[in-house]
Amino acid sequence: MEFYGLIGEKLGHSLSEPIHRMFFELMGIQGAYKLVEVPKDQLPGLGAAMRLIGIRGMNVTIPYKQAIMDQLDRVDEMARRVGAVNTVLLREGELTGYNTDVYGLRALMDRHKMPVQGATAAILGTGGVSKAALEVLLSGGAQTIYYVSRDKAGKRAPDPRVICADYRDLAELSGDILINCTPVGMYPKAGVSPVGREIIARFDHLVDTIYNPMETEFLRMGREMGKNTCNGLYMLVAQAMAAQAIWQGEPVPEAVTERIYHRLKDDMEPARRVFIIGMMGCGKTTLGKALAERMNLDFVDMDDEIERMSGHSIPDLFAQGEAVFREWESKVCEGLSLRKNLVVATGGGAPLYERNLRAMKANGGLVLYNDRPVERIARDIDMSGRPMLAGGMDRLYELAKERAPRYARAADLTVLNDAGPEEALEKMVAALKGAWKA
């Protein structure tokens, strides 16, 4: 059995192990692939360790794609041009470095019919993946490439077609292809974009090298504008298969790449998961149950789940201190974010905490604001058993004034619930069908 692996500083969210395991299964190869986290102070001895152990091949990820090059006997010409190595082969005691990110990104862009020849393109970021993007565009015949960093001072263009720029320059730029090679928008800090709508609007094709979430805020805005968009999942699989071709000494059938990609895509496709937020007493639970039944989804009341997991009632948790309750609330929220096909009725304070909001929106989760006027809540609400309303009706109005703007900012969708529950339910169903294109 041959041994392979991935080295990097932090690898908790890597998909490399399942990708290569599927490859071995599909090809009938006896092989093992492991993730190896290497602290920076141990990197200098890595090359010697590979030779000693006899590991046939290693992938390399951030922050070691450039640092590893000094420990290799040879560096492939493409990897040298890119200035980064992400694949290492051990053969007859010699370590050779390659860059398969270039192959992966080229395969992704070809798959989504992104015209590189003669194009004007912009690359966001200047790390290892951005260098691969630069190689793809240059070798593909792009006419003009804007290489965008936070500060262009002192940056040197590697080719006459390349123009070093910063984010201030983007306000004046337009073109064909915009590639995000930064980590902005990646889980768990999803929901943000490296650039705004006004910049996205001036490009026809958007590539995000991020694959978790499958649709970043950057891509979501582009899709809504009718742009041709793609995430980095196919690039990840294609570059892994290019690494295996190097290690095995023969090309990987395209059908194998496709099967692995579709398996991962099915697993990672944004699940139908919606978190209903709003003031206590606005009807989140009642409407949530009806919505789940209507959309054929499971229903969870977050407060019930907190009580189940903690073994304490909500009032008992508050009696231990609000911080104790909020910690349980966050744990439950993060657990629910991993489940699929779900409607969750949240507590009134849950979406006010960034940790919870990140979990709700992870991998395609939607936050739906049930906006019921406080006067109607005051007419209907039973305040018993609600620790946050110990101050009576005045406290309800005070909370509504404070929270309503924050709910609105947190929401992906808002439904005005100012009539009966039947009308509110129809509005929710219509909003979700539009968002999910059901």
pLDDT interval class at 10 (50, 70, 90): confident
Question: What are φ and ψ of residue 308, in 5° steps?
Answer: -65, -45
> How far is the first Cα of the chain from the last one, in angstroms, to the nearest whole number?
47
Q: What is each CA distance from 111 to 104, 212, 234, in whole angstroms?
A: 11, 19, 9
Residue 381: per-residue pLDDT: 66
* Average pLDDT of span 21-42: 92
pLDDT interval class at 245 (50, 70, 90): very high
* Average pLDDT of span 387-391: 54
Residue 41: per-residue pLDDT: 84
pLDDT interval class at 190 (50, 70, 90): confident
Residue 438: per-residue pLDDT: 45
pLDDT digits (tens, 9 = 90+) for 194-206: 999 999 999 999 9
List the structure tokens of 338. Answer: 């991993």
What sign does the dihedral 188-192-193-197 (CA atoms) show? positive
Mean pLDDT of the residues in the chain: 90
Does the pLDDT of residue 221 top 70, yes or no?
A: yes
* Average pLDDT of span 85-89: 95
The kind and range of the H/E element at 325 are helix 322-336
Catalytic annotation present for 65: yes
List the structure tokens of 434. Answer: 């539009």
* Average pLDDT of span 379-400: 66
Greatest Cα pair distance, the chain, in angstroms, is 80
Among 363, 51, 85, smallest CA distance to 239 is for: 85
Q: What is each CA distance from 177 to 141, 151, 169, 207, 429, in whole angstroms?
A: 13, 21, 16, 8, 36
Q: Which residues of 266-276 are buried (b: 16+ CB within 10 A; e: fewer)?
A: eebeeebbbbb
Share of the chain above pLDDT 70, in %: 96
List the structure tokens of 136. Answer: 């793809």
pLDDT digits (tens, 9 = 90+) for 256-290: 999 999 999 877 776 789 999 999 889 999 999 99
Residue 383: per-residue pLDDT: 52
d(CA 367, CA 375) in angstroms, rounded, equals 23
Give the type of residue at 245: A
On the CB side of 293, CA atoms within 13 Å amount to 8
pLDDT digits (tens, 9 = 90+) for 90-109: 998 899 999 999 999 999 99
* Average pLDDT of span 229-242: 97
d(CA 150, CA 208) in angstroms, rounded, equals 18
d(CA 84, CA 65) in angstroms, rounded, equals 5
Q: Is the CB of residue 131 less than 8 Å from the CB of residue 158? A: no
Q: Considering 10, 34, 40, 65, which one is annotated as catalytic? A: 65
- Coil, strand or helix: which one is 366? strand
Does the pLDDT of residue 387 top 70, yes or no?
A: no
Among 180, 223, 164, 171, smallest CA distance to 202 is for: 171
Q: Is the CB of residue 296 less than 8 Å from the CB of residue 273? A: no
* Average pLDDT of span 247-254: 96
List the structure tokens of 218. Answer: 């950057």
Calculate the CA 85 to chain-centre distance: 24
Q: Is the CB of residue 17 less than 8 Å from the CB of residue 6? A: yes
Give the type of residue at 249: G
Among 245, 190, 266, smallest CA distance to 29 is for: 245
What sign does the dihedral 273-279-281-282 (CA atoms) show? negative
pLDDT digits (tens, 9 = 90+) for 290-304: 999 988 889 999 999
* Average pLDDT of span 345-373: 91
d(CA 424, CA 278) in angstroms, rounded, equals 13
pLDDT digits (tens, 9 = 90+) for 108-151: 999 999 999 999 999 999 888 999 999 999 999 999 999 999 88
pLDDT digits (tens, 9 = 90+) for 300-322: 999 999 999 999 999 999 999 99
pTM of the model: 0.65
